[in-house]
Structure 1
Amino acid sequence: MIVIYHDVGGCHSSATAANIHINKLPMNRTPSMEEIIALPTFDKIEKSDKGKLIYIGEDEFGAQVYTLARRRKANLVIPAISDLYRITTGSLKGFFLANTSPAVNNTMRIGGVSSRVFGLVSFGRP
């Protein structure tokens, strides 16, 4: 099974969701700022990583969990990845895509842009 958490930048909401999925962040409480910032991919994706699947880990059922920075091209990227999986396996069974963008509020958007575009990392952090 493969699970891909995707969003525009690939380094905030998708990284957080993927790490909750593999139990590197708690599900029973809000993680601390220190726990989130300590994640290997939180706010650390480089421009060269955009469009690449980033392996986050494996869950307790053996599913491989990835993140993807797809920019604003979900309508192109997601069908291509789905088609490739279907071509190589014969179906979409065991393939899950999770768009984390709907969970991003305006404060998070401003923080992400401040951090990734303008380099104001401390302003953009939780």
Structure 2
Amino acid sequence: MVYIYNCYGGTHSSILAIAYHLEMLDKNREPTKDEILNLPNFNKLVYGNRGELFYYGRDKEGNDVYSIGRGRSKVLIPGLYNLASMLHKQKLLNEKIIFSNTSPTVSLSMTFGGLFSRWLKLDFIGVPLLVKGAKKSYKDIIKLVDNTKKEAKKDKSKIIILDNKEFKKK
């Protein structure tokens, strides 16, 4: 199986989801500032990385885990779905693929943190907001990851897109 976590920039909520999926972060407690900031690619990707798949490793069940930033695109994930579907039909691909949208877990402080840090290059404002948001959202991200794994095992489709709207912040 292949898991592809996706969000707007591919550098905040999707990285946190990957960290919980790959057990880089402890699910039993709130992550520390240093743990968050030391995650691979957390708050490091730029506009030019949108649409690029980043590989982070294999989970303990042998599944590959990736992230991708979508930006504002409404067609990137459906396009990747169609590509994977075509490759399945031509028997060039036989891996099950799960696209899981992590954007619904993003808190307001993460949104503003990303804006200040990635767009305005004001890390002294953005990074503390990102850390606050990551700490605030960690339980929702864990639930999203657990749900993603559960749906991947339950759904018999070769390709799954999870929008995860049930995790939307209120």
How does the TM-score come out when normalised to structure 1?
0.92
Structure label with greater radius of gyration: 2
Equivalences for 1:86-97 in 2 at 5 Å? 86-90=85-89, 94-97=96-99
Instruction: Report the counterpart of residue 118 of structure 2 in structure 1.
Output: 116
Q: Deviations over 1:26-59 (max 9, x none)?
A: 1111111100100121001133211111111110
Question: C-alpha distance in 1, partners of 2:121/2:28?
Answer: 32
Q: CA contact under 8 A between 1:82 and 1:92: conserved in structure 2? A: no
- The DSSP-based 3-state class of the residue aligned with 1:57 is strand
Instruction: Report the counterpart of residue 64 of structure 1 in structure 2.
Output: 64
Q: Deviations over 1:77-119 (max 9, x none)?
A: 1111111112222388721111111101211100110000011
Which one-letter code corresponds to 2:80 in the other structure?
Answer: I
2:81 is the counterpart of 1:79: no
How does the TM-score come out when normalised to structure 2?
0.69
Which one-letter code corresponds to 1:98 in the other structure?
Answer: S
Question: C-alpha distance in 2, partners of 1:92/1:12?
Answer: 30
Q: CA contact under 8 A between 1:13 and 1:100: conserved in structure 2? A: yes
Note the residue ranges of structure 2 that are not aligned, 5 or more in a row: 132-170
Task: Please list every run of at least 4 consecutive aligned residues from structure 1 whose deviation after the TM superposition is greater than 4 angstroms.
Answer: none
Note the residue ranges of structure 1 that are not aligned, 5 or more in a row: none
Instruction: Report the counterpart of residue 7 of structure 1 in structure 2.
Output: 7
Q: Which has the higher contact order (CA 8 A, sep 6+)?
A: 1
- 1:122 to partner: Cα distance: 2.7
Share of identical aligned residues, percent? 36
- The DSSP-based 3-state class of the residue aligned with 2:17 is helix
Which one-letter code corresponds to 1:109 in the other structure?
Answer: T
RMSD of aligned residue pairs (Cα, Å): 1.6
Residues paired across the two proteins, number: 125
Question: C-alpha distance in 1, partners of 2:83/2:63?
Answer: 18
Q: CA contact under 8 A between 2:50 and 2:71: conserved in structure 1? A: yes
- The DSSP-based 3-state class of the residue aligned with 1:15 is helix
- The DSSP-based 3-state class of the residue aligned with 1:5 is strand
Instruction: Report the counterpart of residue 107 of structure 1 in structure 2.
Output: 109
Question: C-alpha distance in 2, partners of 1:60/1:82?
Answer: 25
Question: C-alpha distance in 1, partners of 2:27/2:62?
Answer: 19
